[in-house]
Amino acid sequence: MTPTASHATRRKTGGWRRRLEVTVLTAALLAALPFGGALADTGKRVALVIDNGRYTALDSRSDQAAANASAMASALRNAGFSVTRADNVGRIAMESALERFREALSGADLGFVYYTGLAVGLGEREFLLPADAAPTGAEDLPRAALDLDTVLSDLRDSGRKAVVVIDPGIAEALAQRVGGGALGTPIEADGLFVVYAHRPGVPPVPPKSGKGPDPFTAALAREMVKPGVAFRDSLAEVARAVAERSDGRQLPWLQDRLGSNLVLVPAVASAPAKTPTTPPAASTTSPAKEPPAKEPPAVTTPSLPPGEYEMAKSSTLFDRPAVGARGVAQLSAGSMVTVLEAVPEGSWLRVRDPAGRTGYLTAGVLATRWADPSPLAARARGPVEAGPSFGDPGIEQGMEPPAAGNSDPIRTEQPRSFPTAPPGTGFTVPDSPAVEAEQQAMRTLGDARTAADRARSRPDSRYWSYGFAGGDRYEGTWAQPSSGSGLGRPIRQGAGVYHFANGQTYEGEWSGDLMSGYGVMTFTDGSRFAGRFRDGQPDGPGVFHYANGGQSAGLWRGSVRLDQ
């Protein structure tokens, strides 16, 4: 493939990217729709499935790669794609297949490229290994392999929307031979949707069986063709299945810059119910048989009312409603969880498990609703959007963007108003740890405003502003994540101000990209909470100031006053 001018520009991003461990290649999925629309059953579809499982010169062979390719090709045909396969292709043939695909894509509305094979990262570059690759050292890689960022740039330059799916093989021997590691986080480009079978920097778990497709591809081929299910939501179910099969050691990752909601298979409209012309005759000879007992039906709607639910299947409780999030706990089928609220525009639910841990599940793992949850004294605003990734248009102009990568940004919650003071709420606050926490929060508020002022007036690599697509905005301090965090993007760390689109604000401390520490959250009606936060919610001593002038000082966890 011929390098373009954009490649030189793209290389400037390398200084902010983390080196990772072993992964594999690329797949692109394209779509033409207005922003915010749902791409489903319109237009011509083309797909390219590349399977590099036999490397003669590297003494590497994987029968599972062929099974992966067969499963994906079948699923893509079921989704209406015209599929081309390229099995065990050398460099020239692989470049030719990609170029022919781009030509076909120019006359199509949606495309899909799936790759399974070896790949390696070296320095600031990532390479995809053709079947005839035989590198003996690092200096051979540019000649023997394809540059992943070049592949993605060429797809981006086609002017079509694209999803890039990467299902890597185990390439430890290759990495040792060339002195490299895993693929780094890919470039970000508008119109691309990138999916990894694992988080960047965390190699995939070797499959327990070499027969059939690996857990990631098997789940993806099954979930992405379910009628009416958004591609992003299908990946949430894929993440659950992969985490379950790998005991939580492997989680898929995505980077979505499509700008529209992708649905591969449109929902099937149900036929109208037929009105019977004659009522069925009642039997007088034998009593009606009772239907056999059934298992609780799995929940199919992504929007569920709060209440007690039974787990229909085992699943991982995640710390965020995002593909690639960290697992908090493993929940078994039959256990009970409390649904606290639904995450808007998706199938994620915020729940509390029997041990009192709060996290996120997808609606598809729940069964029967048993009871309403206990009432809450007050509900603070929940998760905010995830931090940015390099290349996002929300980054302020005129400043140098930090590290690349995006780990599935969390959607903001619907705006809420702060509740009025409950009966019995006092209008004075006695001396207590809550008052001390409020005083500390007010001091931190000053630090946050100072950091926000600097981010606006003198932005640099640590202080800068970022505007989210939903209208939220953060101004304050940033940091690079630790190597073991699994986040391929800068995180909010220190102090800063978060402006919600609905007018609410949080001014205070941040840790690990979350509202954690002392801070003040002010609501649109003038009420506020000042005190200790953890993971975006009040957690510890603090004072609620209600809009009617009332105050409630005490120990809080989430929206519940623990000492009342």
What is d(CA 177, CA 175) in angstroms, rounded to the nearest whole number?
5
What is d(CA 61, CA 58) in angstroms, rounded to the nearest whole number?
9
- Same domain for 249 and 337? no
pLDDT class for 484, splitting at 50, 70, 90? low
- Same domain for 318 and 463? no
Check residue 307 and give left, alpha or beta (phi > 0: left; psi -120 to 50: alpha): left
Q: Within a domain: residue 272? A: no
pLDDT class for 67, splitting at 50, 70, 90? very high
Q: Provide the mean pLDDT of the chain.
A: 73
Average pLDDT over residues 160-168: 84
Tokens at 160, concatenated: 């079509």
- Same domain for 462 and 348? no
The 10 Å CB-count burial string (b at 16+, else e) for 173-199 is ebbebbebbbbbbbbbbebbbbbbbbb
Q: Single out the residue of 331, 278, 358 nearest to residue 539, CA to CA.
A: 358
Q: Is the entire prediction scored with pTM above 0.75?
A: no
Average pLDDT over residues 89-118: 87
DSSP at 395 = B
Tracing tokens 């992969």 back to the chain, one arrives at 242
Q: Position 386: which residue type?
A: A
**Highest mean pLDDT out of 68-82, 153-167, 338-352, 370-384:** 68-82
342-379 pLDDT tens trace: 876 567 888 888 888 899 888 777 764 443 333 333 33
- Tell me the backbone φ, ψ of residue 406, rounded to 5 degrees: -150, 125
- Same domain for 132 and 257? yes
Q: Within a domain: residue 57? A: yes
Task: List the beta bridge partners of residue 360.
Answer: 318, 350
- Give one DSSP letter per residue of 281-322, joined into a string: PPPSSSPPPPPPP-PPPPP--S---SEEEEESS-EEEESSSS
Does 137 have pLDDT greater than 50?
yes
Domain containing residue 338: CATH number: 2.30.30.40
3-class DSSP assignment, residue 499? strand
**Which of 355, 371, 387 is the last residue in one of the domains?**
371
Average pLDDT over residues 372-397: 37
Q: What is the pLDDT of residue 323?
A: 60
Domain containing residue 100: CATH number: 3.40.50.1460
Does 60 have pLDDT greater than 80?
no
Of residues 267 and 222, more confidence is placed in 222
**Which of 327, 342, 371 is the last residue in one of the domains?**
371
Helix, strand, coil % in the chain, rounded to nearest 5: 20, 30, 50
Q: What is the pLDDT of residue 174?
A: 75
Q: What is the pLDDT of residue 238?
A: 92
- Same domain for 460 and 330? no
Helix residue spans in 205-283 (DSSP H): 215-223, 231-245
Q: Within a domain: residue 403? A: no
> Which of 245-254, 327-336, 476-485 is the least confident region?
476-485
- Return the sign of the alpha-carbon dihedral for residues 231, 235, 237, 242: positive
Of residues 483 and 198, more confidence is placed in 198
Q: Tell me if 127 sits within 8 A of 141, measured CB to CB.
A: yes
Cα angle vertex 250, ends 249, 255, to 5°? 140
Tokens at 66, concatenated: 């062929």
- Same domain for 342 and 447? no
Domain containing residue 448: CATH number: 2.20.110
- Same domain for 223 and 338? no
Q: Within a domain: residue 458? A: yes
Q: What is the pLDDT of residue 17?
A: 35
**Which of 371, 400, 423 is the last residue in one of the domains?**
371
- Same domain for 234 and 323? no
Task: Please tell me the total count of domains within the chain.
Answer: 3
> Which of 62-66, 87-91, 307-311, 519-523 is the least confident region?
307-311
Of residues 370 and 440, more confidence is placed in 440
Q: Within a domain: residue 276? A: no
Q: Within a domain: residue 64? A: yes
Q: Within a domain: residue 91? A: yes
Q: Within a domain: residue 79? A: yes
- Same domain for 233 and 364? no
- Same domain for 107 and 215? yes
Task: List the beta bridge partners of residue 245.
Answer: none
- Same domain for 350 and 446? no
Q: Residue 210 belongs to what domain range?
A: 19-262
Q: What is the pLDDT of residue 324?
A: 59
Does 444 have pLDDT greater than 60?
yes
- Same domain for 82 and 148? yes
